[in-house]
Structure formats: structure tokens, C-alpha cells
Structure 1
Amino acid sequence: MATTAAQQSGGSKPAMRKPVFTKVDQLKPGTTGHTLTVKVVSSNTVLQKGRASSANLRQTRIAECLVGDETGTIVFTARNEQVDSMKPGATVVLRNAKIDMFKGSMRLAVDKWGRVEVTEPADFTVKEENNLSLVEYELVNVVEE
């Protein structure tokens, strides 16, 4: 008779939360934990450097990809193996994505705590007129008296 580790310890595994999918036009600066389904509009590699040592080949690749859904587009910064899945025309699910600020504009990124998954093609048309990465933000310090 096989029992799982959770049954043996007496406790149960905490229930996984259902992901709340957000739309591109709902993204705000400085926010994290987004789950989005987006289409890749374009992808271009901005950095590719490799350092070969005898033990391992360490490569750093960064690509800026324009991704979007039916509400708008945003620039997604893909790193290393994420670059491979960000092919133009592909539909991807970005899990636990965060907003990074770069030169006053928003960039979407997935760090080591998130995931980029290629999924079946979605049936929406990307609204390219609404590019959130073209909106420039300015950090204003509010002094409370």
C-alpha cells in the first residue's frame, strides 16, 4: 500500500492558488506577480555574450520582445533560455511576471521565480497601437509635512 508523504506527515499540501490572468493595459509601474497570456509580435537580440571555460560554457543572452494581447503591447525582456521560446507569432503564458522600469518606461520581465511557457495559439489580435512601453513615467517624491 503506497502512501504519499503528505499523508504520512499528517499535514496536507497548501492548495495552489488559481492564477488570475491580467491584461496588458492593467499593468502599472512597480507591480509584480502578474500572469498573462500574450502573443510575441517581434523579438530582437540585444545582448549575446559567452564566456567559455574548461568546466562549462556560460552564455548570457538578452532579447527585447514586443508582446501583447487585445488590450495593448509591452516590451518583454527575455533572458537566456527564455529567448528560445519568444519566437514571433508564438503565444506564451508569463507566470509571476514583474514590471521593471528602464529609462522611465515599463518593461515586463520574468525572473527566476517565474516561468515562461509556450502554449497553443490564442485567437486574439494584438492591439499594437497601445504600446505601454512608449509611455514615459517620472518618479516623483512626495514630501509629507
Structure 2
Amino acid sequence: MATAQQQGGGGAKRKPVFTKVDQLKPGTSGHTLTAKVLSSKMVLDKGRTDSAQLRPTRIAECLVGDETGTIVFTARSDQVDLMKPGTTVILRNAKIDMFKGSMRLAVDKWGRIEVTESANFTVREDNNLSLVEYELVNVVAE
């Protein structure tokens, strides 16, 4: 009799479905994508405080992209060190946060960033999804 793993069900890991940058939409999560880091800019760098519990806070905005477009990725704390320009990364379980009406890609504690081999695609830099401004509209049912 075959076990659940031999049949492909149960505890077997399923293969991730990779998302392209141009498929990202506001309010979505669970994305896995391969992207090249084009630039990284530190926006917050707070050093250690007197309290031992509080770790230093670092936030960098990194422009990442693939062959379909680019988006701003918000790197926090240790993620900042991984997001070096020219690096190719796999973002696992990434989500879309909204900041001042525009999309930002982020990976929280439930996701992971992996540095991988250089990807063989050319980044399409003329389609920056973070430059698209969204407006929250309340729909009133009558």
C-alpha cells in the first residue's frame, strides 16, 4: 500500500506558482516571484536604544523587477542586507502593502527572501507599478 507522500498528497510540498510583477494587485498576498534588485535606498536607520529588547530598525526602499515591470520593495531589518543592487532574489509569500495610494511589495515574518543565481531576463524598467496611484472608493449599495 502506498503512503500519502508516495501518492503525492498529504505532507508533500506543492511546487510554488511564480507570479510576474505585472500581475500584482492591491490587497493581495501569498506571491512568490523572482526579481532583480535595481536599486536600494535607506529611508530609516535607527540605531540601538537603551532598551535591550528593541533591535535597531532599518527600512530600505528597493526597486525590484522582472521582464514585465518593476515595483518598490520595502525591506526591513535583516532584509536590507540581502537586497543589494544587481542581486537576483526569490521573494516567497510576499504581499502588497499600500503606502500613500501606491503599491509596495513586502515580505513579513511568514515569508522569506532567498538570494539566487542571476536571472536571465532583462528588467522592463518602463512599467513601474509603484507609480500607479490608487484611490480608495467606498461603494454604497442602494
1:43 to 37, 40, 43: 40
* Pair 1:96-2:96 in alignment: no
Shift, 1:144, TM fit: 1.3
- Under a length normalisation based on structure 1, what TM-score does the superposition of the two structures give? 0.88
- Matched with 1:5 is none
What's 1:68 paired with?
A: 65
**Partner of residue 22, structure 1:** 19
Query: For 2:135 and 2:14, how far apart are their aligned partners in 1?
Result: 34
Task: Choose from 122, 126, 129 the match for 2:123.
Answer: 126
Question: How far 1:30 sits from its partner (Å)?
Answer: 0.2
Can you list the C-alpha shifts for 1:57-79, whole angstroms capped at 9, x where unaligned?
Answer: 72110000000000000000000
**Shift of residue 50, structure 1, vs aligned partner:** 1.7
| Number of residue pairs aligned between Structure 1 and Structure 2 | 134
Distance 1:32 1:54, change over 3 A: closer
The alignment's C-alpha RMSD in Å is 1.6
8 A Cα contact 1:50 1:57, kept in partner: no
Query: Which residue of structure 2 aligns with residue 6 of structure 1?
Result: none
1:86 and 2:105 are equivalent in the alignment = no
Quick check: 16-25 or 51-60, which moved more?
51-60
- Secondary structure at the counterpart of residue 81 of structure 2: helix
Tell me the TM-score normalised to structure 2 length. Answer: 0.89
Larger Cα Rg: Structure 1 or Structure 2? 1
* Consecutive unaligned residues in structure 1, runs of 5 or more: 1-11
Structure 2: which amino acid aligns with 1:99?
A: I
Which secondary structure does the structure 1 equivalent of 2:59 belong to? strand
